[in-house]
Amino acid sequence: MSVHERYRNALAEMRFKIRETRNDRAGKRLGELLVELLVEQGVLDQEKLQQGLAEQQQRGKGELLGEVLLSLNLIEEKVLVAALNMQVSEN
């Protein structure tokens, strides 16, 4: 399995875990934690965050912020996967 396939699999697993908890308080906290992690790592600044949030709102419910940031090329997939792994391990 290639590195890219491993990242895709890890990302799919993280999406599943986040969606499982999305509708409860823990899910809200998970979303907040992802943003905090990306900001702390210097990957996401306020401009990119606002751009991602605006696009997420336009797309409507169901689209995770990480997916939006990735689709807009505001973050790299490997960075998102690493942050998601940290996010899940902290909860």
pLDDT at residue 62, as a whole number: 75
Neighbouring residues of 6: CB distance < 8 A, sequence distance ≥ 6? none
Q: How many structural domains is the chain composed of?
A: 1
Query: Pick from 39, 30, 40: which is nearest to 74 by CA?
Result: 39
Q: What is the pTM of this model?
A: 0.65
Phi, psi of 11 (to 5 degrees): -65, -40
CB count within 10 Å of CB 33 equals 18
Q: What is the pLDDT along the chain (91 residues), one digit of tens a residue?
A: 676 677 777 777 766 666 555 544 444 555 667 888 888 888 899 899 999 989 988 988 777 888 889 899 999 888 888 887 777 666 5
Q: Is the dihedral of CA 13, 75, 91, 33 positive or negative?
A: negative
Question: Structural domain of residue 78, as residue ranges?
Answer: 3-90
